[in-house]
Structure 1
Amino acid sequence: MNKFSHIDLRVHNLEIALPFYEGLLPSLGFTRTFHSANWRVFAAEGELPSAPYFAIIEDTNHKPNGNLIGFWAENREEVDRIAELVKELGGKINSGPQLFPISPTYYAVYFEDPCGNAYEIVHRFN
């Protein structure tokens, strides 16, 4: 059983970050929205509250740190596609997409959202 529940993400400027996430999260399977006055919630398929979800809130004092959120890709083409999408949406590619020496089959891209939060999309193949 996958124990993942949700991510509560802080951004220092929701107006800057929201268009990025509205473009990125559906491509990662977070296709439903449940927004409130303060939270922007993007959920995967399934019944809430057990469906995985990604919630974003503005915190003007938030500063990015060394945390990194990683997502699986089905294949290298998906890693490449997400990398292009990140660039189109105003994100910053930090490294890749490429093979990394983590293992002989570790193909990934590392990137940041417009507020500096760090991510990785990875595919490991046989």
Structure 2
Amino acid sequence: METHQLHRGRLIDHIQLVVRDLKASQDFYTAVLNELEIPIVGSTDGYFWADELVVSSADSVAASGLLTGRHHLAFQAKNRETVHAVYHAALAHGGKDNGAPGERPYHPAYYAAFIIDPDGNNIEVVYHGEAVRSAPSVVIDF
């Protein structure tokens, strides 16, 4: 029997978006991720990836031939200024406004902006404020 080591500590291993226009998506996500200081680490003719995000064309070997549906992805920002920078970069690279930067009622100090990407995904960039960011992490053993 083969043993596999499973890394626990992150909820999501990776997310794949299958898009209509890979170039438009790469322009959009490169601008967004640059503001978040997350580099695009690789690309081919059919897909690109950054950290846990993979974006591919429908005809890529990384896809099953079907476009993904609409999704909501929220990226963490290090401060309010980054929320603004991502929002403006996204709009300048094919995104559509879905909620300008501002406080939201989800919890105190929740500061976010929402943009629709070129394929209709709702992209959020959020800063949770210093009080939330400095709270200790919780580890749960199963």
Shift of 1:92: 1.0
Q: Note the aligned Cα RMSD (angstroms).
A: 2.1
Partner of 2:118, secondary structure, is coil
Shift of 1:35: 1.8
TM-score (norm 1): 0.78
Partner Cα separation in structure 1 for residue 26 and residue 44 of structure 2: 14
Determine the structure 2 residue equivalent to 1:95.
99
Give % identity.
27
TM-score (norm 2): 0.70
Shift of 1:122: 0.6
Determine the structure 1 residue equivalent to 2:14.
6
Pairs aligned (count):
116
Shift of 1:3: 4.4
Corresponding position: 1:55 with 2:54: yes
Determine the structure 1 residue equivalent to 2:61.
none
- Which of 21, 25, 32 matches 1:17? 25
Report which of the two structures shows the higher radius of gyration computed on alpha carbons: 2
Structure with the higher strand share, 1 or 2:
1
Unaligned runs of 5+ in 2: 1-8, 59-64, 132-142
Partner Cα separation in structure 2 for residue 38 and residue 56 of structure 1: 9
Partner Cα separation in structure 2 for residue 64 and residue 4 of structure 1: 18
Q: Is the 8 A contact 1:30 1:53 kept in 2?
A: no
Determine the structure 2 residue equivalent to 1:115.
119
